[in-house]
């Protein structure tokens, strides 16, 4: 379990992490999401003692990381896959790490096998592709068979097979009761991997909830409605929390109210409805809505006018 209390980090006058408190529970995959510069890596570095907090504290399994007698056996972390001695082979890098914790060489071979590095284990790390480097970083994180795994952007540079492999690895570790904390920019990937999300923007936590709650908590339920009496139905549904967009003469996109309620209001008002398709916002859209005020770097290229809710579940 990872517990952060009022954790903060300033770089000069820049507040990179602004008094965040959260708990990462064992037995599930927790995704750490946020736009560029939100403070994900800084938070992760503080968890493993690579950055000293300006305020607050963070513990792993009840203690600050550095106070564990054998940290590699407690926490496996992939933070910067490039921080490896370039002239060493993958195998000797892992052997050197293993030696610091009296981890048997058999385990080095196991993690090489597990991460698919067998064919390149004796090659110089300097010649590795980004994806191979990520695999080596994950191999190092797994070496001590730790109770807690912290992986910063683990699918960065991996091919589709590698992405699937990371997803299965994260899920299987969580299923064994371990604490798994992953950061990613890929909402679609998180929706397939994580059970729980912590969303950060400009150093502050803006959501900390199960994925389903993040989707459902944004007023995302709604429906695409077909009727000959669009105006009358708009009047019948009018309420503060209901947003209605007229798609065409006969079609309304209604958000903030579920399809059963829409049908009941139409019935009360004696309005014929001949199409009612429940819609739910995609995780990507929920994430964009959550972070729209918290993005540090905006791109000038805007997507075409957002459709808002999309038919069906889009995660
Ligand atoms: N060593 C440092 N010195 C000064 N500023 C830093 C340092 N490290 C991070 N920052 C700043 O702190 C903020 C948070 O950065 P951080 O790398 O934690 O964000 P992130 O969410 O991991 O971003 P990304 O997804 O782009 O990696 C950013 O504004 C960044 O520029």
The CATH number covering residue 122 comes to 3.40.50.300
Q: Does one domain contain both 169 and 31?
A: yes
Q: Is the ipTM of this complex over 0.90?
A: yes
CA of 297 to the centre of ligand 1 (A): 12
Task: Please identify, among 149, 176, 210, the residue that sits at the C-terminal boundary of a domain.
Answer: 210
Mutation to probe ligand 1, out of 11, 36, 198 (largest number of atoms < 8 A from CB): 11
User: Looking at the DSSP assignment, which residues form a beta bridge with residue 75?
Assistant: 148
Alpha-carbon dihedral sign for residues 290, 291, 292, 294: positive
Task: Please identify, among 155, 186, 210, the residue that sits at the C-terminal boundary of a domain.
Answer: 210
Q: Does one domain contain both 257 and 133?
A: no
Q: How far apart are CA 311 and CA 281, in angstroms?
A: 8
Q: Report pLDDT for 219.
A: 43
Model confidence at 207: pLDDT above 90: no
Please check whether residue 21 is in contact with residue 203, taking contact to mean a CB–CB distance below 8 angstroms. no
CA of 198 to the centre of ligand 1 (A): 17
CA of 285 to the centre of ligand 1 (A): 24
Phi, psi (degrees; rounded to nearest 5) at 7 = -75, 130
Residue-number span of the structural domain to which 72 is assigned:
2-210
Spatial strand order of the sheet with 179-184 comes to: 75-78, 148-152, 179-184, 28-33, 196-201, 204-210
Tally the domains of the chain. 2
Q: Does one domain contain both 246 and 160?
A: no
CA of 53 to the centre of ligand 1 (A): 14
Quick: pLDDT tens for 12-46: 999 999 999 999 999 999 999 988 888 999 999 99
CA atoms within 13 Å, Cβ hemisphere of 23: 6
Nearest CA to ligand 1 atom 30: 37
Q: Does one domain contain both 205 and 231?
A: no
CA of 183 to the centre of ligand 1 (A): 14
Residues with CB under 6 A from ligand 1: 11, 14, 16, 34, 36-42
* Structural domain includes residue 305: no
Model confidence at 51: pLDDT above 80: yes
Model confidence at 276: pLDDT above 80: yes
Mutation to probe ligand 1, out of 4, 7, 16, 202 (largest number of atoms < 8 A from CB): 16
Task: Give residues with Cβ within 8 angstroms of 140, minimum separation 6.
Answer: 76, 78, 93, 94, 97, 111
Q: Does one domain contain both 56 and 175?
A: yes
Q: Report pLDDT for 241.
A: 73
Residue 308's pLDDT band, with cuts at 50, 70 and 90, is very low
Q: Does one domain contain both 193 and 245?
A: no
Q: Does one domain contain both 241 and 201?
A: no
**Which own/partner contact pairs does 299-304 have at CB distance under 8 Å and 24+ positions apart?**
none
* Structural domain includes residue 121: yes
* Structural domain includes residue 215: no
* Structural domain includes residue 312: no
Q: Does one domain contain both 138 and 282?
A: no
Q: Cα 175 to the chain's mean position, in Å? A: 18
> Which among 166, 133, 161, 163 has a CA at the least distance from the CA of 149?
166
Nearest CA to ligand 1 atom 28: 37
* Structural domain includes residue 311: no
Q: Does one domain contain both 198 and 273?
A: no
Model confidence at 310: pLDDT above 50: no
Which of 169-173, 258-262, 279-283, 299-303 has the least mean pLDDT?
A: 299-303
Q: How far apart are CA 176 and CA 106, in angstroms?
A: 21
Q: State the alpha helices, DSSP H only, in 27-159.
A: 40-47, 71-74, 90-100, 105-114, 130-142
Task: Please identify, among 151, 183, 210, the residue that sits at the C-terminal boundary of a domain.
Answer: 210
CA of 172 to the centre of ligand 1 (A): 30
Nearest CA to ligand 1 atom 2: 11
CA angle 96, 29, 255 (to 5 degrees): 145
* Structural domain includes residue 124: yes
Q: Does one domain contain both 146 and 271?
A: no
Please check whether residue 94 is in contact with residue 106, taking contact to mean a CB–CB distance below 8 angstroms. no
Q: How far apart are CA 32 and CA 42, in angstroms?
A: 12
Q: Does one domain contain both 238 and 109?
A: no
Q: Does one domain contain both 22 and 137?
A: yes
* Structural domain includes residue 306: no
Question: What atom of ligand 1 comes closest to residue 42's alpha carbon?
Answer: 18
User: Looking at the DSSP assignment, which residues form a beta bridge with residue 253?
Assistant: 224, 245
* Structural domain includes residue 147: yes
Quick: pLDDT tens for 106-152: 999 999 998 989 888 888 888 888 888 889 999 999 999 999 999 99
């Amino acid at each position: 379990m990872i517990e952060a209390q009022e954790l903060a980090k300033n770089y000069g006058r820049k507040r990179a992490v602004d008094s965040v408190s959260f708990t990462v529970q064992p037995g599930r995959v927790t995704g750490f999401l946020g736009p560029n510069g939100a403070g994900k890596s800084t938070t992760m570095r503080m968890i493993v003692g690579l950055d000293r907090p300006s305020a607050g504290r963070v513990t792993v399994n009840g203690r600050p990381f550095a106070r564990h007698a054998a940290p590699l056996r407690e926490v496996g972390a992939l933070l910067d896959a490039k921080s490896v001695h370039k002239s060493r082979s993958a195998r000797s890098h892992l052997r050197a790490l293993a030696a610091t914790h009296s981890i048997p060489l058999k385990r080095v071979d196991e993690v090489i096998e597990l991460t698919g590095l067998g064919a390149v284990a004796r090659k110089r790390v300097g010649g590795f592709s980004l994806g191979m480097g990520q695999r080596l970083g994950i191999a190092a994180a797994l070496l001590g068979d730790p109770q807690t795994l912290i992986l910063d952007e683990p699918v960065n540079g991996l091919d589709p097979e590698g992405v699937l492999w990371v997803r299965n690895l994260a899920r299987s570790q969580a299923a064994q009761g371990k604490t798994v904390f992953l950061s990613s920019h890929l909402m679609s990937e998180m929706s397939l991997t994580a059970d729980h999300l912590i969303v950060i923007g400009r150093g502050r936590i803006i959501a900390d909830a199960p994925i389903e709650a993040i989707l459902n908590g944004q007023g995302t339920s709604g429906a695409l409605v077909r009727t000959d009496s669009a105006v009358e139905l708009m009047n019948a549904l009018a309420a503060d929390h209901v947003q209605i967009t007229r798609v065409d003469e006969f079609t309304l996109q209604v958000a903030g109210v579920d399809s059963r309620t829409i049908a009941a209001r139409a019935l009360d008002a004696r309005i014929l409805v001949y199409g009612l398709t429940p819609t739910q916002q995609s995780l990507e859209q929920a994430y964009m809505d959550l972070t729209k005020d918290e993005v540090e770097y905006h791109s000038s290229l805007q997507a075409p006018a957002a459709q808002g809710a999309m038919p069906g579940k889009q995660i």
